[in-house]
Amino acid sequence: SIPHPAIEALAVMGLAPPIEWEEVKARYKALAKKYHPDTNHPSKEAEERLKKINLAYSILKLSYQNYTKLDEK
Protein backbone atom coordinates (compact mmCIF):
# COMPACT_ATOMS: atom_id res chain seq x y z
CA SER A 1 0.00 0.00 0.00
CA ILE A 2 1.05 3.59 -0.57
CA PRO A 3 2.08 5.63 2.53
CA HIS A 4 -0.33 8.43 3.47
CA PRO A 5 2.07 11.34 2.78
CA ALA A 6 2.62 10.01 -0.74
CA ILE A 7 -1.14 9.97 -1.38
CA GLU A 8 -1.37 13.61 -0.29
CA ALA A 9 1.65 14.50 -2.43
CA LEU A 10 0.02 12.89 -5.46
CA ALA A 11 -3.14 14.92 -4.80
CA VAL A 12 -1.14 18.18 -4.64
CA MET A 13 0.17 17.36 -8.09
CA GLY A 14 -3.26 16.39 -9.39
CA LEU A 15 -2.36 12.71 -9.70
CA ALA A 16 -3.76 9.47 -8.27
CA PRO A 17 -2.40 5.95 -7.85
CA PRO A 18 -1.51 3.73 -9.54
CA ILE A 19 1.08 5.81 -11.35
CA GLU A 20 4.51 5.31 -12.88
CA TRP A 21 7.49 7.42 -11.81
CA GLU A 22 7.88 8.83 -15.33
CA GLU A 23 4.34 10.26 -15.10
CA VAL A 24 5.19 11.92 -11.78
CA LYS A 25 8.32 13.50 -13.27
CA ALA A 26 6.44 14.74 -16.34
CA ARG A 27 3.68 16.26 -14.21
CA TYR A 28 6.24 17.91 -11.92
CA LYS A 29 8.03 19.50 -14.86
CA ALA A 30 4.76 20.82 -16.28
CA LEU A 31 3.60 22.24 -12.93
CA ALA A 32 7.01 23.74 -12.13
CA LYS A 33 7.00 25.52 -15.47
CA LYS A 34 3.42 26.71 -14.99
CA TYR A 35 3.95 28.12 -11.47
CA HIS A 36 7.56 29.29 -11.79
CA PRO A 37 8.12 32.92 -10.68
CA ASP A 38 9.60 33.79 -14.07
CA THR A 39 6.23 33.06 -15.72
CA ASN A 40 4.04 34.37 -12.86
CA HIS A 41 5.88 37.48 -11.73
CA PRO A 42 4.95 38.75 -9.14
CA SER A 43 2.38 36.23 -7.90
CA LYS A 44 2.53 35.15 -4.25
CA GLU A 45 -0.11 32.48 -4.94
CA ALA A 46 2.00 30.92 -7.69
CA GLU A 47 5.08 31.04 -5.46
CA GLU A 48 3.25 29.25 -2.62
CA ARG A 49 1.81 26.69 -5.04
CA LEU A 50 5.29 25.99 -6.42
CA LYS A 51 6.61 25.44 -2.88
CA LYS A 52 3.86 22.85 -2.27
CA ILE A 53 4.59 21.17 -5.60
CA ASN A 54 8.32 21.00 -4.80
CA LEU A 55 7.61 19.46 -1.39
CA ALA A 56 5.19 16.96 -2.92
CA TYR A 57 7.76 15.96 -5.53
CA SER A 58 10.41 15.45 -2.83
CA ILE A 59 8.05 13.22 -0.83
CA LEU A 60 7.19 11.17 -3.90
CA LYS A 61 10.83 10.84 -4.90
CA LEU A 62 11.75 9.48 -1.46
CA SER A 63 8.75 7.14 -1.47
CA TYR A 64 9.67 5.84 -4.90
CA GLN A 65 13.31 5.30 -3.89
CA ASN A 66 12.25 3.38 -0.77
CA TYR A 67 9.79 1.31 -2.80
CA THR A 68 12.49 0.49 -5.34
CA LYS A 69 14.87 -0.63 -2.57
CA LEU A 70 12.18 -2.89 -1.07
CA ASP A 71 11.34 -4.27 -4.50
CA GLU A 72 15.00 -5.28 -5.04
CA LYS A 73 15.12 -7.38 -1.85
CA distance 66 to 44: 33
Crossing angle of helices 44-72/4-12, nearest 10°? 140
Using a 10 angstrom Cβ sphere, with 0-12 exposed, 13-18 middle and 19 or more buried, the burial of residue 68 is exposed
pLDDT tens, residue by residue, 9-61: 999 999 998 889 999 999 999 999 999 988 877 889 999 999 999 999 999 99
Q: Give the model's pLDDT for residue 68.
A: 64
